[in-house]
């Protein structure tokens, strides 16, 4: 009698583990396929367009100028060796 319950327990455990792994991999595949889709790329492009358009309107406050200046300086310092190695040929 005990062996029957132990066997049922292990079977349920194995099926549960298999099911959870299957659900996990299925979800990961769906997320990856969504992130690689053209629809998502178009959404990102439209969002960036909207953000850039909003940023171009109006004047910047002094605090925003300081904030963006610091960010751009950090980016420039980080990629300065890369920028210097670029050969500009026309």
Percent helix, percent strand, percent coil in the chain, to nearest 5: 85, 0, 15
Q: pTM higher than 0.75, yes or no?
A: no
State the chain's mean pLDDT as an integer: 90
Q: How far is CA 43 from CA 31, 53, 54, 68, 82, in A?
A: 15, 15, 16, 25, 30
pLDDT digits (tens, 9 = 90+) for 19-39: 999 999 999 999 999 999 999
First to last CA, the chain: 85
Domain extent listing, the chain: 2-85
């Amino acid at each position: 009698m005990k062996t029957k319950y132990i066997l049922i327990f292990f079977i349920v455990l194995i099926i549960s583990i298999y099911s959870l792994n299957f659900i996990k991999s299925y979800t990961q595949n769906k997320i990856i396929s969504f992130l690689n889709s053209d629809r998502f790329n178009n959404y990102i492009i439209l969002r960036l367009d909207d953000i850039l358009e909003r940023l171009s309107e109006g004047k910047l406050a002094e605090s925003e100028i300081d904030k963006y200046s610091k960010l751009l300086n950090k980016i420039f310092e980080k990629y300065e060796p890369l920028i210097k190695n670029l050969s500009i040929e026309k």
